[in-house]
Structure 1
Amino acid sequence: MCGVVGAVSDNDSIPFLLEGLATLEYRGYDSAGLAILNNGLHRARAMGRVAELVDKVAAEGLRGRVGIAHTRWATHGVPAERNAHPHVSGGLAVVHNGIIENYEALRDQLRELGYTFSSDTDTETIAHLIQACLKGQIGDPAEDLFSAVQRAVGYLDGAFALAVISEDESECLVIAREGSPLMLGIADEGYYAASDASALLSVTKRMVYLENGDVAQLTPDGVTIADLSGRLVERDIVISNLSANAVELGEFDHYMQKEIFEQPQALSNTLEMLSGAGQLQPGIFGAEAETIFQHVDSVLIIACGTSSYAGMTAKYWIEQVAGIPCNVEIASEYRYRQSVANPRQLVVVISQSGETADTLAALHYAKEKGHTYTLAICNVPESAIVRETALRFITRAGPEIGVASTKAFTTQLSALFLLTLLLAKIKSNLPQEDEKAYLDELRHLPVAVEKVLALEPNIKIWAQYFANKQHALFLGRGRHYPIAQEGALKLKEISYIHAEAYPAGELKHGPLALVDQEMPVVVIAPNDELLEKLKSNMQEVSARGGQLYVFADGDSSVKNSAGMQVMQMPEHYGLLSPVLHVVALQLLAYHVALVKGTDVDKPRNLAKSVTVE
């Protein structure tokens, strides 16, 4: 959620630190700050956007070769400058992403040692704890900052990505991670650190991904890494395939708009292995996939937010096509309940970033319960979730900057449909002619999405009707019910209109009481086996004066009438119809937000990468 960057450079680090923070703005934050070493420790902090910090740093004329910087998303303590990072203890400064669960007990202990606190944060506790380890107030005096941080993290319970500097070691930066992402950048002119690879692209593509428990020291002479046991270790250098252009807006007004329109290419990239394929190969999920899939008798999908709706859509596919049971669990709930493990169940974890704290913890819980058949569907190949599963499928959506997920969702759906087909094939539930037909539909999917994007001018008109509304209902049936949920989520995320989704058949069981002329009702109406049932549900809305906005397939018999506006989708797409309908809902949410004038890419109170519980 927060952004961490740090540098030990041959040159002034201030430009990199500020540019890194600007790159990480998409993660969500309420304040920003930095600390730099230059004849002592100098700190600048500001509320609001990174631009406010840029002005402060310029006014104070800060320069230096070793520094750390941070964007904060409030957890402990209200958004206020006194709670902004970095936090200091004497001549030592710390930035931190994560949550320290035992900070109150540590704070009490440190107060007894004479430390005073000027913030409400858990992070200030870390600064004083490292200082106490340096001074020998907790254990013997540490030899240097590197050993002090190694000792201090042993007292911390929770998740953290830390970057620490001290005026007593003016050419040293120490970083540490446990549960929150943190990586190194190796460049000719210095060594860098960040919580996201995109923040390093301006200086290098050579990156080192730290493991949980790692503590690293960066100096002009090189990098030293110690693992959880204190043993010095080497970590592989990875050449990132990201490009700086991928995180630039280009011709678009917002990242969300850019990412909506990148979906045809993202789907094409994700499905590239199908370009000349006559049949599916299990190896696209990993070398052991065929063996594991043969033993699987059911599927458990674990995810959060938008990714969970992808999983809920896949449940319909897997049970219908593969013919095996599938359950979907919200990660933050699954990890805290007693469940019955099935050793033959395939556990599928879905995450755009691969660092989602609840999903990662749920994966750990599943493995503790005895699950060994695990699969990650993720957009980041070097992420923690990918490294901890037996099988993996990397969606090739590219960087997704907008907080409201779009192309990550549709590429997750395409990956889950591939999984469905492979499970069906291995279970002998996929006739060869059906396999060929589904592969042809997948290959055509990017073109079909292009046709949906062409509806944007008409969707803009609809957006005007929603702008002054306070509430909205979204209705779907079958595999389109999770798509209705995703559409409602998008609308409330970026326009702040309260929106709820229901299976259309549930209207008469309560939600119909909410329907009046001020309640727009969005309906997903594909031309499938449930269409006639859905028409009856729409009549229930019309009879109560509700205003219907219906996305209907072109070959359906749903037409405009009093109180009902119908937008014809370009083509009916069978089982893959959810992918097309969700693109239309993304456009609707985007244009409603534009009319309302909200911050589309950085909606209030939200963060892109939820790396804390």
Structure 2
Amino acid sequence: MCGIVGYVGSKEAATLLVEGLRKLEYRGYDSAGVAVLSSNGLEIARAKGKLANLDALLARSPISGTTGIGHTRWATHGKPSDENAHPHRFEKVAVVHNGIIENHIALRDELRAAGHEFASETDTEIFAHLIARELAAGAASLGDAVRSSLESVRGAYALVVTSEDHPSEIVAAKNASPMVLGLGEGENFVASDVPALLSHTRQVIFLEEGEVAEISADRIRLTDLAGKEKTRAAQRIDWSPVMAEKGGHKHFMHKEIHEQPRALADTLRGRFSEDEGDTLVGEVDLDRRTLETVRRITILACGTSWHAGLVGKQLIERLARIPVEVDLASEFRYREPVVDGSVLALAISQSGETIDTLAALREAKRLGARTMAVCNVLGSAIAREADDVLYTHAGPEIGVASTKAFTTQLTALALLAIRLGRLTGHLDAEAGRRWLAALRELPTKVEKALEGEAKVVEVAHAILQARDVLFLGRGPQAPVALEGALKLKEISYIHAEGYAAGEMKHGPIALIETDLPVVVIATKDATYEKTIGNIEEVRARGGKVVAIVTEGDTHVRSIADHVIEVPDCVPLLMPVVTSIPLQLLAYHVADLRGTDVDQPRNLAKSVTVE
């Protein structure tokens, strides 16, 4: 989400910055702006909406200068507006920023107490104030001011700064958000992603965690946060512009599968209260008194989001002991649902525009329910209409088949379940801290699951010619089986069905014949032995077993045809991890079959018609 471009050289910066931002439009955004050091000092142009609006503004009021920074914003703190658009300025300093400042409230209060006034709702503006304060206090350079300011900041940032007092340089810093430097002749660049640079240079340096780059037209100086100088050779990028948008991946779906460790970290960032063993979901206005009126939660969703809701039901019921129903939103309005003021209706939608889910939410609201949404897009229709919203912060998802939106929905639901458990008293602080520790490990565990991709490719070759595939799972893995089957049928066009494994002998076992691929999620949990029994039933009828197992499981390896290992995890959070090999399996089967992975036939990213 969000895009950054910075430039120092001899060309007109405003034109170059907007051109670079246009190469990053695929990332999604709701406002855009540039700051350029002109003969009049620091000049800023910002506009809500698409880059065309910024183009029109610059056509009416041109800005001339050869040093500048630009940004496309995807709103997190504060609604989309001209005031909240980047760059943000305080005194002689302008900044652009991707990421989230976790301690922004404390920093804002500190600065206000010192007499600072803020012009926006964003956390980013705090950077401008901190850096301006360091420069006023006598920082020797813009780089020193940035490094000193970052000492008080907690959170994620890809940050670029310019100042009237240092007109021939910009400074960039990175922590947990991507940032790449572009090396030219008599000019240098910085951007949040490679596509913005490719029309100007192929020589790049990727910033590493905790690095600061001081950039002028003829030099780039790298340091750590303590100011110690670092050296690193540039590398050449040979990607085509189209491949660059995909980060070097063949398809957006593959890129988005691999973005999940970062997306999960963004979902979790700033949402832990270690002392209380609780989660900080500030967008959700629930307290004990409000929750006393809630007797039941009804989850409303479609497709992949419905599968996330099925996992969410188990999380909420286990941690908070509140009864949960999961309704297909497309059916909800037509069955005269029993809903009143004691119901919390929870809508789940990646886009926030899914028409069936929106209609179901409106019906629940009409019947008196309190409403909440788990959503990825700030300001979307569902987000606007719900009483409370928990944003997933997955970032834009281009591939039609949802991947990172699903796993971040699961993670957001876990955050909500912990909060509800603490409010109801069914989860004490110590138990809450154990859940927080398990959540904190998720990005690393997903990263490790992605390392098993070579084995998934091998399995994809083995099932490539199948006409049908069966997916089985128990407990929290039953919805993952449904999701795995959906992914395969969506993009490979192979008929696939997912079932709770205990239901197999109640009908689906009739489908099993010689060489039928059966994907079984057999991780170590309370239903492990039962699942082993299901594998034996498949084997007895000649089916070919592809097993997703906990790392180190030798027993299933001895009875399955193919085994894909995933790292161990708390069983109720394991669906986040087991989803990864199933996403990769669907992707590689589809790629091998030559289908249109990112835009499969008959499907749309956001379903806005019934």
**Superposition TM-score, scaled by structure 2 size:** 0.62
Aligned residue number for residue 398 of structure 1: 395
CA–CA distance in structure 1, aligned partners of residues 338 and 249 of structure 2: 48
Residue range with higher mean Cα deviation, 591-600 or 300-309: 591-600
2:354 maps to a residue whose letter is T
**Cα gap change, 1:186 to 1:239, in 2 (>3 Å):** farther
**Cα gap change, 1:240 to 1:185, in 2 (>3 Å):** farther
1:190 maps to a residue whose letter is A
Deviation (angstroms), 1:568: 2.4
Check whether the contact 2:377–2:391 (CA below 8 A) recurs between aligned residues.
yes
Deviation (angstroms), 1:610: 1.1
Per the alignment, in what secondary structure is the counterpart of residue 555 of structure 2? coil
Stretches of structure 1 that go unaligned for 5 or more consecutive residues are: 1-14, 26-181, 193-201, 211-236
Aligned residue number for residue 255 of structure 1: 252
Check whether the contact 2:27–2:395 (CA below 8 A) recurs between aligned residues.
no
Aligned residue number for residue 518 of structure 2: 521
Alignment of 1:236-315 (within 5 A): 245=193, 248-274=245-271, 277-279=274-276, 284-286=281-283, 288-290=285-287, 291-315=289-313
Deviation (angstroms), 1:510: 1.1
Q: Does 1:386 align with 2:383?
A: yes
Deviation (angstroms), 1:288: 2.5
Aligned residue number for residue 12 of structure 1: none
Per the alignment, in what secondary structure is the counterpart of residue 575 of structure 1? coil
Deviation (angstroms), 1:378: 0.6
Aligned residue number for residue 321 of structure 1: 319
CA–CA distance in structure 1, aligned partners of residues 560 and 495 of structure 2: 21
Q: Does 1:190 align with 2:50?
A: no
**Cα gap change, 1:610 to 1:280, in 2 (>3 Å):** farther
Per the alignment, in what secondary structure is the counterpart of residue 281 of structure 2? helix
Per the alignment, in what secondary structure is the counterpart of residue 592 of structure 2? helix
CA–CA distance in structure 2, aligned partners of residues 283 and 206 of structure 1: 21
Aligned residue number for residue 446 of structure 1: 443
**Cα gap change, 1:483 to 1:204, in 2 (>3 Å):** closer
Deviation (angstroms), 1:413: 0.3
Which of residues 448, 460, 463 is equivalent to 2:457? 460
Per the alignment, in what secondary structure is the counterpart of residue 484 of structure 1? helix
Deviation (angstroms), 1:561: 3.5
Check whether the contact 1:555–1:572 (CA below 8 A) recurs between aligned residues.
no
Deviation (angstroms), 1:562: 5.8
Aligned residue number for residue 561 of structure 2: 564
Deviation (angstroms), 1:296: 1.9
**Cα gap change, 1:275 to 1:334, in 2 (>3 Å):** closer
Check whether the contact 1:282–1:289 (CA below 8 A) recurs between aligned residues.
no
Deviation (angstroms), 1:397: 0.6
Deviation (angstroms), 1:563: 5.5
CA–CA distance in structure 2, aligned partners of residues 392 and 304 of structure 1: 18
Per-residue deviation, residues 541-591 of structure 1 (Å, max 9, x unmatched): 110001000001125453334663222222243221111001111111111
**Cα gap change, 1:422 to 1:475, in 2 (>3 Å):** same
Aligned residue number for residue 416 of structure 1: 413
CA–CA distance in structure 2, aligned partners of residues 240 and 405 of structure 1: 29
Deviation (angstroms), 1:506: 1.2
Per the alignment, in what secondary structure is the counterpart of residue 291 of structure 2? helix
Aligned residue number for residue 480 of structure 1: 477
Deviation (angstroms), 1:434: 1.2
Which of residues 571, 576, 579 is equivalent to 1:579? 576
1:326 maps to a residue whose letter is V
Aligned residue number for residue 332 of structure 2: 334
CA–CA distance in structure 2, aligned partners of residues 561 and 488 of structure 1: 25
CA–CA distance in structure 1, aligned partners of residues 272 and 389 of structure 2: 20
Q: What is the aligned length?
A: 409
RMSD: 3.4
CA–CA distance in structure 1, aligned partners of residues 73 and 431 of structure 2: 43
Deviation (angstroms), 1:244: 8.2
CA–CA distance in structure 1, aligned partners of residues 431 and 554 of structure 2: 27
2:53 maps to a residue whose letter is A
1:547 maps to a residue whose letter is K
Deviation (angstroms), 1:295: 2.8
Per the alignment, in what secondary structure is the counterpart of residue 494 of structure 1? helix
Alignment of 1:71-90 (within 5 A): none
CA–CA distance in structure 1, aligned partners of residues 194 and 432 of structure 2: 34
Check whether the contact 1:264–1:447 (CA below 8 A) recurs between aligned residues.
yes
Which of residues 374, 391, 397 is equivalent to 1:377? 374
2:588 maps to a residue whose letter is H
Larger RCO: 1 or 2 (CA < 8 Å, sep 6+) = 1
Deviation (angstroms), 1:415: 0.6
Identity %: 45
**Cα gap change, 1:418 to 1:435, in 2 (>3 Å):** same
